[in-house]
Amino acid sequence: MTTAAVPRGQGEEARPDGRSPKSVLGKVGLILSAFGDGDLSLSLTELTARTGVAKATVHRLLQELVDCGLLERDGSDYRLGLQLYAIGLRAPRQRTLRQAARPVLENLAQTLDSPVTLSVPHGSELLCIDNVGRHRNRAGAPVGGRLLQLHSTAPGKLTLALLPEQYPLAPLAPRMRRMTAHTFTAERLPRELARIREQGYATEVEEHRLGYFAVAVPVCGPRDAAYLGALSVVATTAHGSAPRTLAALRNASKAVTARLSAVEAYRTEP
């Protein structure tokens, strides 16, 4: 999902919400957020258009971001730096969840011979924080750090269903693109989300990519059972088994919650 360009006025600096960033930090945030999933690198002109920040200001901040390793030069363009990636990996909530889930994901991918993905809510988006597996069915899991489609993927629909206040459908509807002929329309999606809330898991059959289906279950917190993220599996429609996949996912989700509980118990020991 590539960030759309933001219209600019005559030298006016504006955020995507239409308000002007007043601080240097706010402008830096716009620059870093301008990189979308499909962007390996961006030019100064592209970053100026996407942020709405004056070109001279963008150029100055880009040099400083390169100097501190948050961005890297790619010829005359700029790309996100490894230092930024390293900082992101230190985020405590995602790091704890990822570390607790990783052995479970590896075991599940081997058992089902299918890619497994762990995704978490991130503002109004869904962020893949870990994935394992690319096996005989050639169904590749989303790359870690990538944003997932909300309306056409199993983890996306699960998140929409379980967090309706954080993910209202009204702002999403205009951006819902038909990925295949099976993708749910804005009119049909509410009924699908109600079904997901009732059954406690989400499925997707050729809604995002022809020839593949996916199943997603929630990963819940050990103390309050709060929704932490989605654990999902992708398989081919020709060889995958939805009931077997769902059963394995539910067991894996319980295992992740148990591991999180053990981590919390260890941290609270005197």
d(CA 246, CA 70): 40
Give the number of other Cβ atoms within 10 Å of residue 112's Cβ. 22
Label residue 168 by pLDDT band (50, 70, 90). very high
The domains found in the chain, sorted by start residue, are 24-87 (1.10.10.10), 91-268 (3.30.450.40)
| Statement: residue 235 has pLDDT above 80 | yes
Top-ranked range on mean pLDDT: pick from 10-14, 78-82, 133-137, 198-202:
198-202
3-class DSSP string for 97-144: HHHHHHHHHHHHHHHHCCCEEEEEEECCEEEEEEEECCCCCCCCCCCC
The pLDDT tens digits for 51-87 are 999 999 999 999 999 998 889 998 999 998 877 766 7
Q: Give pLDDT, residue 105.
A: 95
Mean pLDDT score across all residues of the chain: 84
pLDDT value of position 80 = 86
Using one digit for the tens of pLDDT, what is the confidence trace for 152-161? 999 999 999 9
Cα(128)–Cα(193) distance, rounded to whole angstroms? 21
Lowest mean pLDDT among 5-9, 222-226, 252-256, 262-266: 5-9
What is the Cα–Cα distance from 129 to 112, expressed in whole angstroms?
20
